[in-house]
Structure 1
Amino acid sequence: MDASTQGPALPDEQVELAVEIFRMLADGTRIRLLWELQDSERSVSQLADAVGKPGPAVSQHLAKLRMARMVRTRREGNQVFYRVENEHIAGLVRDAIHNAEHASDGIPAHHRAAESTITPIIPITGSGQRR
């Protein structure tokens, strides 16, 4: 590929932010937390139960994810609820998990789920009867 077909150069600031996002994703607990948050917001205690980790450890991971602008919070009384910052973060985690599923044997779970919703097409003959 020559320089004329490439897009504009990436700004250093964007590259550094992307590196920080991947650094945050290089931890199994954080992947699990973001996976739990991809479709709904949750409290620290709900997340701790979901990932099987103590609340204080989950809080520390969430603080790092918040500083990296990967999650945002909403306060309700004395409880804080977390959610994924945007669909791009959720997509990164989903794509990483789906890619990992492809590395294992068999049909990946995300393909099995899609296949179960496909309705088979049954040809109908000219007389209106199925073949």
Structure 2
Amino acid sequence: MHLSPAQGSHPQEPGPPAFEAAAGILGLLADRTRLALLHTLASEEADVGTLAAAVGAARPAVSQHLARLRMSGLVTTRKEGRRVVYALTDEHLRRLVAEALAAAGPGSPGHRRV
């Protein structure tokens, strides 16, 4: 999600493709494990084993979630020897995850138990 300036000083109005892309990203964030993975990756790059331990999920499940995040372009991979290291793709995603967690925190207007 990127806001581009339009003619003058007003942000460009998003069109249907932007809404579709944003809905896809928010849909991926709607999963607790994927959100926890992205939150962990917001502070450091990590491999599957490290991420599984950090989010308290089984390695195979974490691998499946990471595959979805990679296919959607939200995370990237690189090889370090035999390890595959995951990282967030950009700062926008880091801020989006932080804002989503802040909006859900105690004292926020939208805070409630689900």
Query: RMSD in angstroms over aligned alpha carbons?
Result: 1.5
Structure 2: tracts of 5 or more residues without a match: 1-9, 109-114
Please give the alpha-carbon distance, in whole angstroms, between the structure 2 residues aligned to 1:100 and 1:58: 23
Please give the alpha-carbon distance, in whole angstroms, between the structure 2 residues aligned to 1:9 and 1:95: 22
Question: Radius of gyration: which is bigger?
Answer: 1
Aligned-partner residue type, residue 87 of structure 1: E
Q: What number of residue pairs does the alignment pair up?
A: 99
| Equivalence for 2:47 | 43
Matched, 1:81 2:80: no
> Which of 4, 12, 17 is the matching residue for 2:16?
12
Equivalent residues in 2 for 1:72-111 (5 A)?
72-103=76-107
Q: After superposition, what is the alpha-carbon deviation per residue over 1:66-124, rounded to whole angstroms, capped at 9, x for unaligned?
A: 111111111112210001111110101101111111446xxxxxxxxxxxxxxxxxxxx
Identical pairs, percent: 43
| Equivalence for 1:63 | 67
Structure 1: tracts of 5 or more residues without a match: 1-5, 105-131
- TM-score between the two structures when normalised by the length of structure 2: 0.80
Instruction: Report 1 or 2 for greater relative contact order, CA contacts < 8 Å, sequence distance ≥ 6.
Output: 2
Runs of 4+ in 1 over 3 A off after TM superposition: 6-9
| Equivalence for 2:26 | 22
Please give the alpha-carbon distance, in whole angstroms, between the structure 2 residues aligned to 1:19 and 1:92: 13
Please give the alpha-carbon distance, in whole angstroms, between the structure 2 residues aligned to 1:39 and 1:52: 17
Equivalent residues in 2 for 1:107-122 (5 A)?
none
Q: How far is the alpha carbon of 1:54 from its aligned partner?
A: 0.7
Please give the alpha-carbon distance, in whole angstroms, between the structure 2 residues aligned to 1:33 and 1:44: 10
